[in-house]
Amino acid sequence: MNQDHVEKIKKLLALSKSSNAHEAALALQRAQELMQKHNVTMTYVRLSDVKEAKTRIGKVKNPAIHIKWLARMVADAFGCRLLLVTEYVGFYGWFSSAQFIGIDSAAELSSYAFDVLHRQLERDRKHHLTTLKRCKRATKVRRADAFCRAWVSMAASKVVDLAPKQEQQDAITQWIETNHGESLVEDTNRKHKKARRDDSGSVIAGLQAGDQAQLHAGMTGEDRLRLQ
């Protein structure tokens, strides 16, 4: 399908909502003529606005809960739906990815934002691990995870979510069902070890580090992540 034809139909459909009844009627008639000529359905027009962008999380079958929280936070910020995809790549093993599905550029922006914040989170986690002295490995991992959950929670408190219109939500849902079926279900309920009282230092450090999360270069369109 020629995308130029679809874009022209979209513009005519937008004009069909004009307050000028005569102009609206002509635009709708012209849109219907083009749709019939090029065999374009209204469903196709609606779904053509939906885009997807996938970014790799890492070589892991089931991402940690704080990574899932981060991906969800970003998806909500741009009015996207999130799918967590796990793939087995032969000799290389399991890989997981975050797939963002949204209207127009929202998916690409979500993918970019997740990459930037994910790198910051991993960098801060590594730094925090260096501060954990004379601890068993299991204790270090638990405290580092507590740090990361606090980091994401603080970053999330600074985000302005974008709630898509109902028709956009419906289009995204239909796109997912058309392209992925109903077999892909997001798992955000992975259990994690609760922070203990002696992990409070890691939680506080995570809140402080998350408060410094930054997202600047590379953003286009409306900036929904008000991170300074």
pLDDT digit string, tens, across residues 128-181: 999 998 889 999 999 999 999 999 999 998 877 766 778 888 888 888 888 876
pLDDT tier at 107, thresholds 50, 70, 90? very high
Domain count, the chain: 2
Is the residue at 225 inside a domain? no
**115 assigned to some structural domain:** yes
Instruction: Say what the pLDDT of residue 214 is.
Output: 81
Does residue 172 sit in the same domain as residue 62? yes
Which residue range is the domain that position 32 belongs to?
3-47
Q: What is the DSSP string of the chain?
A: --HHHHHHHHHHHHHTT-S-HHHHHHHHHHHHHHHHHTT--HHHHHHTTEEEEEEEEES-SS--HHHHHHHHHHHHHTT-EEEEEEEE-GGG-EEEEEEEEEETTHHHHHHHHHHHHHHHHHHHHHHHHHH--S--HHHHHHHHHHHHHHHHHHHHTT-------HHHHHHHHHHHHHHHTT----------PPPPGGGHHHHHHHHHHHTT----TT--SS------
40 and 93 assigned to the same domain: no
Position 228 in a domain? no
Q: Per residue in 7-35, pLDDT tens?
A: 788 788 888 888 888 788 888 888 888 88
Identify whether 226 is part of a domain.
no
Residue 28 lies in a domain: yes
Same domain flag for 136 and 86: yes
- pLDDT for 195: 60
Query: Are 130 and 187 contained in the same domain?
Result: yes
pLDDT of residue 191: 56
The overall average pLDDT reported for the chain is 83
- Specify the pLDDT at position 65: 94
Q: Are residues 65 and 162 in the same domain?
A: yes
